[in-house]
Structure 1
Amino acid sequence: MTQKGGRRGPLVADKRYSSSKQAPGKPNTPKPRKPRGKKPQRPKRNHGLFTGAVIGLANAIWRLIWGGFWRFTMVIALVVVGTSLYFYSTLPDYTKLLDGRTRGSVTMLDDQNKVFAWRGETFGGQIDAKNVSPFLRDAVVATEDRRFYHHFGISPRGIASAIAINLRAGRGPFEGNGGSTITQQVAKLLCLGVKFNPKEWKNEAAYESDCRSGGLKRKIKEVPYAFALELKYTKDQILSIYLNRAYLGAGARGFEAASERYFGISAANVDPQQAAMLAGLLKAPSYFAPTNNLERSQARAQTVLDLMHQQGYLTDRQYLDAKNNPATLSKAAQQRAGGYFADWLMDTIPDFLSRDTTEDVVIHTTLDQRIQAAAEDAMQSVFTNKVSKNSEAQAAIVVMSKDGAVRGMVGGRETKVTGAFNHATMAQRQTGSTFKPFVYATALDLGYTPDSMVDDAPLTVKMPGSPNWSPRNYERNFRGPITLTVALEHSVNVATVRVSEAVGRENVIKVAQGFGFAQNLPNLPSVALGVGESDLLDMTGAYAGILNGGSSVTPYGLNTLTLKGDTEPLFSKPGGIGERVISEKSAKELMYMMRQVVLHGTGGRANLKNYEVAGKTGTTQSLRDAWFIGFTADYVVGVWLGNDDNSPLNGVTGGGLPAEIFHETMKRVENGQPAKPLPMAQPADWQGNPDDWQSTPQPQPDAAPQPQQPQPQQRSNPSDSILKSLLGVFGGGN
């Protein structure tokens, strides 16, 4: 239908179906929509006056605490950031931090150019975390900081774990385990950028102790420095600093030096078990050092291997192989040879090139490790088999070439030591009858011969202002007229005093001093019996002077000293053969006489099959010291035995244990060496007409004769030039 006016209205569909849910009589209107972004408000709960006040106060306190906390945290964060940025600006290129030593090192090479000892802090050269053995890198990370490659310098989890461990152990929260990351440990090694100042610290040890101290303050200081390290360097660079600066015992600074020290190889070539042993040293370097206790070091290495296996750094096969074949020391490290020798050598070098050196010094020495081992074995053999277990006696051995080059040195019964009292160089003791050869050397140089006669008879000496005194022989008897050879052969005291006075004790003292072992000798007849003092090294050097034909020697152990990397030595050997003291003829005759001491006299136990040996025994007053010093054509060996408190030995004389130690030493030293005759004279070289002695005028009993010089075909007789009034002396033994 249409509307009026001809226009049609809008079409509207008829509503044909009604909603079944619509209530009758109500219009069907849509539900109002909830406004977006607004949560329905909960109806306010009405609190009581008191409850409302409490809640309001709690809300106010919370807002105050929260506001203070985030403001305080912001301030701390700003301080940490600012401090970290400051430290960051002070850090140099990481390569300048790799060698952290404040002093240099001394490396000693034997006569075959093999390393046998180190002093100071050795540094094997700069290494990088990328070029060391991967086993070593993994061992360090697994042991010290398993999250090293994932944290930002500190490990809150590690610190919390360390605090819990410390509390359970009854320590303070920051005492003991510190939970430090490798980065934090590097911060300690760098001493937070503080350099050593001798005015602030007593010494370097005090400086390093302060740098490594723990506690809350130190931890707080480490945090920004650790952050700075992480910002400045890569993880590998931080690890490189750690690998180069960490101390690993036995004077080794850094893993390269430690690897060379303990295994004789570079850190780039260590296997899993060697890497584990090195990494295990970080916990307590001196305590776990394999040169200190190999079994303890191996047990620590096993713990490191377990960690490496658990963290996936080792396969099952690698782990089992390393576990079943623990690392061992190199031959040089096992021997620990020449500790006494090395200590003595350090004392002979200026401090600025030894203990206080800032450079790395290399010394080529005279030490023969074969001979050193022979001397050490001989010492242990005699004390094990022939000395009471309760004995506290000490001993020393020196092995020397005839030019004074020291080939081996043992300064005490404990042979594998460093820094111990060296009885070979430090103990000044009476020389006893080992002095007597120099009395006879004087006589021979004045024209006497080994067959010259001397009267071994009772003697009383009178000196103005002194009481009379009569020297005695060790055996408490007298032999009558005897040759000089027999007098030395049986170490006859009275006869030796007669010879000394006949040739002039001033001359005897001069000869002894010329051979380099006598200082401040008393100008008394007792000097002939060795009441003066000396050390074993100088006495052995004096006997080397006899072997080399009568020239003095200065014992030495250094051949050349160079700075590491240089080829030209700073200086060469400071010792060797010096001036002539007695004639070569006299020295050869004296060697013959000393050979008879070993063949027929007091030194019989020192004799060596197939080798000619000459020497002299010595025993001092009250058996306080016992000596034997002798030689073959190749080497001189000196032996001393005594107690540190200067108490008497229990029945020991020079012809006993010292001679046996000499024998055991020389047997090992000469083993495999061709036998050479001693360069000694023979009786045919000096014997003339057998009637010569009968034609020599004999002095009257009360005469005061002067020493006679021999004439051609005529030999002087010491008994012809005896001073009737001599000072009696306390005598040493054989």
Structure 2
Amino acid sequence: MPARGRAEADEADAPKKAAARRRSEPKRRTRGDRPRRRRFSLLRFAFRMTFTLAILGVIGVGAIVAYYAATLPPVAEWSVPDRPPNVAILAEDGQLIANRGDTGGRAVKLEDLPKYVPQAVVAIEDRRYYSHPGIDPIGLTRAMATNLTSGRLEQGGSTLTQQLAKNMFLTPSRTIERKIQEMLFAVWLEMKYSKDEILGMYLNRVYLGAGATGIDGAAHRYFDKPAEELTLSEAAMIAGLLKAPTYYAPTNDLERSRTRAGLVLDAMHDVGFINDTDYEYAKAHPASVAKPKVATSGGYVADWVAEVLPDFAGSVSQDIVVETTVNLELQELAQSALQGILDKDGAAKGVSQGAVVMLDGSGAVKALVGGRKYGDSQYNRAVSAKRQPGSSFKPFVYLAALEHGLTPNSMRIDQPTRIGNWEPQNYSRKYRGPVSLQTALAHSINTVAAQLAAEVGPKTVVSVAHRMGIESPLEPNASIALGTSEVTLLELTTAFVPFSNGGIGVIPHVVRRIRTADGQLLYERRGGGPGQVVDLRNVGMMNQMLHAVVANGTGHNSQIDGWQTAGKTGTSQDWRDAWFVGYSAFFTAGVWFGNDDNSPTKRATGGSLPAELWKTLMNKVQEGMVPADLPGMDQVPQVVETAPENYEVQYGQPVANAPQQFEPNSAARGGPSDWIPPDQGRQNRGGGFLSRLFGG
């Protein structure tokens, strides 16, 4: 193309090229064309930060929960531990004596309780119990806010399910770990059990103060009734204990407990569990604590039953019911009478403790009191305390003599006596001269008892005592005649029973029947025992002699009008122990008084406080019964025996002008071999420890 033509063409394209260049160049912005910058938003920033922190918090909490969850056993191994079994101990008429076990009450079913009992607990402890899944976020948040505001831990925020989880699975420590584990267990419980099942478990396991665990234990402890019989005001008082069982226990401060119960009633009314009428009545009639039975009279029996229970039922893994032989009315009388006589005369006699045992002719325990006041001392002096029985042991010496051919009318000389290096002395420090065995036993003459023991041999006396029912080891020495070997009140009383029942040995027993809470029989006593341990003729002779103790001897304070009774007093070294064991044809009872530190009394003898208490008990137990004679007395020989004519020459005159006690009779046992002669050179010599032993 010619140059001119190209120039014209370029000239024609110039505007187009200029336009293209303008389009390709950046557009110059004016002040008005600049975009508006966003303003900083504090609200938006806070929201974003909160959201971020929440996400991080959830992750953190999840990590912590996962960490502590990993420390727990696998879920497949989780299980609700068995509730500690309760042992309900019943009297012979079915009345409850006491509960034993860790709970103090039996397990009860929720449906058997008055509806206001669980409602009271829900109202005051966990109002949203039936709507939350084991953890209550609202309650937890409220608790956190309250604690932060107050600056101290006032609320825990735990639901009833969490409390149950803590009680069953965890320690009471307050740590983050324990709280998280508590929540995990609570959720698991909610997934595995219904709300009513969880509430039932809670009510049967929660501690409610004063040693009571579970709703039934608390009902008996505070109101002396089963949980099924609780009133509305009583249910409110028990529910009020949950916050602080010891602090609010009505046994500590009744008014404080009533105030707390009023708050429970307010809560129940607010949520609609009770109507206006019931609310106003319960507020106007607050619960009162039941007056405890006299010194918790059944406590000693219950402890003894719990002690021997494994011998009959083995290991106890479920609630059981033990039916005993105890007469609860007599039991309470024995406790109150013992306590009353100690309150009245204990200080004057220097006596601070006592014990009582009563058995029937089969050895069944009708009453057993192990001390003055169970609440002050649970030591069972009737079963466990071994003390010297003093002269109350003499019947076994005399029985051994009868089995060697003597009779109640056989004569022995009451005079200074020496056996080896031992010189027994009488309580009165005086001597009667020739006396029959009956008189010697009635007046508890020590010299004659010692002579008889030496004549038959101490080992024979030990054998007789063991055959009769004494189980403690006995020392076969000369002083055994005066009861120097220690025994318990229970075994001594048991050993007297054959005198009352015709010579049949017995085993003391208190357990009659054992069954599970649902009625399955585990044990039932069907009799059994040693059988005949004393010939009926000898029983009759012993009864004649021991009846004389009561009729005109050391036990005269125990006489009961219209009844033929028998027994023996006993007083140990330095008046440390005072005993009386006696019986009728139906019952045998033993009473002991003394001091736990073995200190001497103020000359308390078996014929004083023990005989008086024995009389009170026997009058009560035989009330309305037809009197019966003691067995075997119709077989007692009536031959009267005399001392040898020349006893004064051979043995000396112990007491000037000693009275002749019995009429002479040609059937007398003859010869000096019937007596143990004293050492003439030691008659006036002072003795040591054993020579100062006295009989009562």
**Could you state the TM-score of these two structures normalised by the residue count of structure 1?**
0.76
Tell me what 2:166 maps to: 188
Question: Map of 1:108-187 to 2, 5 A cutoff?
Answer: 108-120=89-101, 121=103, 124-125=106-107, 127-128=109-110, 132-155=113-136, 158-159=139-140, 173-174=152-153, 177-187=155-165
The answer for the alignment partner of 2:31 in structure 1 is none
In structure 2, relative to structure 1, the CA distance for the partners of 1:292 and 1:598 (3 Å cut) is: farther
Q: Is the 8 A contact 1:501 1:722 kept in 2?
A: no
Q: Percent identity?
A: 36
Following superposition, the deviation at residue 157 of structure 1 comes to 5.7
Please say which of residues 336-345 and 216-225 is displaced more in the overlay.
216-225
Specify which of 582, 594, 609 is matched with residue 642 of structure 1: 594
Q: Confirm or deny: 8 A CA contact 2:310 2:316 kept in the other structure.
A: no
Secondary structure of 2:399's counterpart equals helix
Amino acid at match of 2:588: V
Shift of 1:257: 6.3
Instruction: Summarize the Cα distance change of 1:555–1:312 in structure 2 as closer, same or farther, 3 Å threshold.
Output: same
Q: Which AA in structure 2 matches 1:519?
A: S
> Residues of 1 paired with 2:386 and 2:268: CA distance?
55
505, 525, 534: which one pairs with 2:487?
534
Deviation, 1:369, is 0.8
Quick one: distance in 1 between partners of 2:350 and 2:128? 56
**1:447 lines up with 2:410 in the alignment:** no
Does 1:693 pair with 2:642?
A: yes
Q: Check conservation: 1:345, 1:558, Cα contact below 8 A.
A: yes
* 2:56 alignment partner in structure 1: 72
The answer to which structure has the higher helix fraction is: 2
C-alpha change, 1:259 and 1:503, in structure 2 (3 Å) is same
What's the secondary structure of 1:475's corresponding residue? coil
Matches within 5 A, 1:368-383: 368-383=327-342
TM-superposed CA distance for 1:294, in Å, is 7.4
In structure 1, how many angstroms separate the alpha carbons of the residues matched to 2:112 and 2:612?
54
Is the contact between residue 127 and residue 243 of structure 1 (CA under 8 Å) also seen in structure 2? no
Match of 1:347 in 2: 307
Specify whether residues 646 and 608 from structure 1 end up closer, same or farther in structure 2 by C-alpha distance, changes over 3 A only. same
2:347 match: secondary structure: coil
Q: Which amino acid aligns with 1:314?
A: I
Structure 2 SS opposite 1:116 = strand
Q: CA deviation at 1:512?
A: 1.0
8 Å contact kept, 2:351–2:601: no
Q: What amino acid maps onto 2:173 in structure 1?
A: S
Is the counterpart of residue 561 in structure 1 residue 514 in structure 2?
A: yes
Aligned residue for 1:214? 174
- Partner residue of 2:446 out of 484, 493, 501: 493
Aligned to 2:608: 656
Counterpart residue identity of residue 271, structure 1: T
Per the alignment, residue 313 of structure 1 pairs with: 273
Give the drift of 1:111.
1.6
Give the equivalent residue in structure 1 for 2:282.
Answer: 322
Q: What does 1:418-437 correspond to in 2, within 5 Å?
A: 420-437=378-395
For the structure 1 residues 551 and 238, does the alpha-carbon distance in structure 2 shift closer, same or farther, using more than 3 Å as the test? closer
1:545 paired residue number: 498
Displacement, 1:412? 0.4
- For the residues of structure 2 that align with 1:352 and 1:599, how far apart are their CA atoms? 42
Instruction: Read off the aligned partner of 2:638 and give its amino acid letter.
Output: Q
2:440 aligned with 1:483: no
Partner of 2:363: 404
Q: 1:382 to 1:144 in 2, by over 3 A?
A: same
Q: For residue 413 of structure 1, give the secondary structure of its aligned residue in structure 2.
A: coil
Aligned to 2:409, the other structure's residue is in SS state: coil
Cα distance in 2 between the residues matched to 1:245 and 1:601: 58
Task: Give the distance between the partners of 1:597 and 1:103, measured in 2 at CA.
Answer: 51
Using the TM superposition, name which of 514-523 and 62-71 deviates more. 62-71
Name stretches of at least 5 consecutive residues in structure 1 with no aligned partner.
Answer: 1-40, 46-54, 192-209, 704-711
Instruction: Describe the shift of the 1:71–1:341 C-alpha distance in structure 2 as closer, same or farther (beyond 3 A).
Output: same
Does the 8 Å contact 1:487/1:495 carry over to 2? yes
Task: Answer yes or no: is the 8 Å Cα contact 1:88–1:228 preserved in 2.
Answer: no
How many residues are aligned here? Answer: 640
How far apart, CA to CA, are the structure 2 residues paired with 1:239 and 1:472?
71
SS of residue paired to 1:616:
strand
Q: 1:522 to 1:253 in 2, by over 3 A?
A: closer
Name the CA shift for 1:181/1:694 in 2 (closer, same or farther; >3 Å): closer
Give distance in 1, aligned partners of 2:121 and 2:338.
Answer: 41
Note the 1:578-657 alignment, pairs <5 A: 578-657=530-609
The residue correspondences of 1:91-106 to structure 2 (distance < 5 A) are: 97=80, 100-106=81-87
Change (3 A) 1:184 1:455: same
Deviations 1:226-278 (A, max 9, x none): 44555666544543443344344677654366557766877566431232233
Deviations 1:16-46 (A, max 9, x none): xxxxxxxxxxxxxxxxxxxxxxxxx98889x
TM-align CA RMSD: 4.2
SS in 1 for 2:479: helix
| Equivalent-residue separation in structure 2 for 1:263 and 1:456 (angstroms) | 61
Distance 1:262 1:716 in 2: 68
Conservation of the 8 A alpha-carbon contact between 2:88 and 2:105: no
Cα pair distance change 1:92/1:113, threshold 3 Å: farther
Whether the aligned pair in 2 keeps the contact of 1:439 and 1:508 (CA below 8 Å) is yes
Change (3 A) 1:68 1:88: farther
Distance 1:155 1:44, change over 3 A: closer
Stretches of structure 2 that go unaligned for 5 or more consecutive residues are 1-34, 653-664
